[in-house]
Structure 1
């Protein structure tokens, strides 16, 4: 699962387009997850008893933005560092949280599909099979790192 210089360039260039709209794109990303897998909604404690529509929930938007930026930032650093790095959090914490709430492999697969669809919408004409492969590989690296801490 080596991340090539070409893939790094694709991810970095597209991230420069995406990061300025990370709040809206992050929310779109999570709305796509919940649309594809409504059963994932209860994994988020702040959504369980909320009557606020998902697209207007400030806690969801904050969380979605943080996750979207974390994925993007870990992707653009992947080749430079040779491993997944995450900002203010750490992988042990992410692994523990994912175990605690009951995240399963299927959830990661749904999230990957939703993430790639969101990237496609965000970059518009810049989208290509190579860009999809690059972001998909970066996402897979992050998920593998999180899963390694879930055991």
Structure 2
């Protein structure tokens, strides 16, 4: 299945909605992750020393990391549209994820949190088509990271 221009546009426009209130949506993203998998807290250097309920709107490293994650998924959508696959620009991502002992199940938790966050960001614009576009782009990125982990 090809990643369509429409899917790429959906990811781009919803990323813009996410980015319009980056601090709020960053906190939501990490809150969703920690609710589902509290043990992952130490995998994120920006959350390592915080209480789960202390994920702050004013933590620049939380915001920067969330922006990077969502931006990489947006970039994955572009790559899927243009080349049909995702290639990492930063090959150290595999090493970092290996060092943090990230497992396949963690990718699923992050995917779920990402989708819930985008749903909050776009509100009434949420649709199955939008969800599907983000899922495909995220899965492409996750596969590329996991390849670098092995």
> Normalised by the size of structure 1, how large is the TM-score?
0.83
Aligned residues: 148
Cα contact 1:18–1:123 (8 A) shared by 2: yes
Aligned pair partner of 1:60 in 59, 62, 65: 62
The 5 Å alignment of 1:48-127 reads 48-50=48-50, 53-56=54-57, 57-84=59-86, 90=90, 92-127=91-126
Unaligned runs of 5+ in 1: none
1:42-99 CA distance string (max 9 Å, x none)? 112453344692225443233223222222333244312433255xx51x21111000
Root-mean-square deviation over aligned CA pairs: 2.3
Cα contact 1:46–1:59 (8 A) shared by 2: yes
Unaligned runs of 5+ in 2: none
1:40 aligns with 2:53: no
Identify the residue that residue 127 of structure 2 maps to in structure 1: 128
Distance 1:73 1:27, change over 3 A: farther
Aligned-partner SS, 2:102: coil
Identify the residue that residue 145 of structure 2 maps to in structure 1: 146
